[in-house]
Amino acid sequence: MDGVRVQAPETGSGQNSGREKTSQPETGRQRTNRLPGVVAVGSLVFGIWGLAWMLGADSYPFGEVPPDGDRLSLLAYLPEQVGAGLIAVLGFLGVPAALAHTRTEWSASAYRPLLGFTGVQVVVFGLLAPSVLVVMVTGYLLVLLGLPAALVALLVGAWRQRTTRMVVLLILLAVAALELITGLFDWAAFKDLAKEISGGPEKVGSRPLFVYGAFLVGCGWAVLGVRGLRSARDRCLRCGRPGARWTRPEVARRWGFWATVIAAMCPLPYALLRMTWLLPNPIGFSAAELDAEPGIKLFGLGLGLIALASAVATLGLIRPWGEVWPRWIPYRAGRPVPLKAVVIPGAAAATLLLVGSPSLVSLAWSADAGTLENVGNLLIFPFPLWGAAVGLATAAYYYRRRPPCPTCHLS
């Protein structure tokens, strides 16, 4: 259980006279709520750093990014002293506010100021401080670590089945043909890619650590806010039941279908754009530029492959293989897909895309470019629509498959 106290469901007309809350007996699933303490520690760290930046410390991570002066974080539109002061004040005040969320006996009127302050923390740490950098770093990690691991796992699983061995052989033949035609996988490409990766930390410095840290603190505040709303509305702290009509499985199935289709279509423009790098006339770069930077070409194609794979994986939210592992998955074939194995990655992806949307839109919509070019940039990177669609699709999947709550016993 996420909290130490559970509110009784609403009865009768839904009005809870006197806002009386009843405790349920302790169960084996109940545990001490550690999240407020973790958020308090994160807020304290940013409070200290914010004070240091106010006093002139270097490495303020939310300002303009040299050498082009890009404003990835929306806090970069504020003077550095103002942004650092805002981080410091909210960081220090966030310590007692986070710890206040450990209290469970609140009336709606007493809880309202705390929820309002929690909302401010979510906006600053979850939206204004982070930037598209969190999406970029995640994408790079997926290409460098996730893509090789996934390919090995899929190849091992496919090779174990007679019907899919031919698919593996066809993929290997296609890769060999691609190498013969384009020379994409030669030693020079991997050497150039390794050089770019090794020089990355020196170029970006500590900025990604602070940006990711702010993102995680903002997510923590968001979870506390959701729990606070559930408590104020006499909902189960674990599952939020009883919920609205649109959370019922049969209703979620309908609107979740269209959300999933939209979410699967959103990464396709970027994936197709990157696939054109294999053609004689690629989009976005000249063939000569890509040939001179074989590592960039290889990495860009990896990002395109990740985007294409994400579109296919998203369809699993409405397909049978999203609920039962297909037979080409090694060691898991035929078993039910755990709910958390889908909901946690889906919620993380939606959050990353939505958090990165404000700064990406500000970068993609350039005053120097024409309207058609700006619209094209937003179609290639439709982060706001993509993030919202992934979030809704994941929520619909969760509402369809979630079991009865072990705490409130509602289904």
> What is the reported pTM?
0.78
Pick the closest to residue 125 from 239, 206, 49, 233 (CA basis). 49
Query: What are the distances in angstroms from CA 239 to CA 1, 176, 235, 329?
Result: 9, 50, 8, 30
pLDDT at 369 (0 to 100): 62
CA distance 64 to 167: 48
pLDDT at 52 (0 to 100): 94
Q: Are 266 and 403 in contact (CB under 8 A)?
A: no
pLDDT at 317 (0 to 100): 94
pLDDT at 30 (0 to 100): 37
Collapsed DSSP state (helix, strand, coil) of residue 359? helix
Give one DSSP letter per residue of 190-252, joined into a string.
HHHHHHHHHHHHHHHTTHHHHHHHHHHHHHHHHHHHHHHHHHHTT--TTT--S--GGGSHHHH
Give one DSSP letter per residue of 125-187, joined into a string.
IIIIS--THHHHHHHHHIIIIIHHHHHHHHHHHHHTSHHHHHHHHHHHHHHHHHHHHH-TTSH
- What's the gap between Cα 355 and its chain centre? 8
Sign of CA dihedral 202, 203, 209, 212: negative
CA distance 411 to 409: 7
Q: List the structure tokens of 132.
A: 């598209």
Q: Which residues of the chain have pLDDT under 70?
A: 1-32, 66-71, 104-108, 163, 183, 186-189, 192, 195-205, 366-373
pLDDT, tens digit, 9 for 90 and up, residues 252-261: 999 999 999 9
One-letter amino acid for residue 247 of the chain: T
DSSP structure class, residue 64? P
Q: List the structure tokens of 194.
A: 């390794």
Q: List the structure tokens of 368.
A: 């120097």
Q: Are 343 and 397 in contact (CB under 8 A)?
A: yes
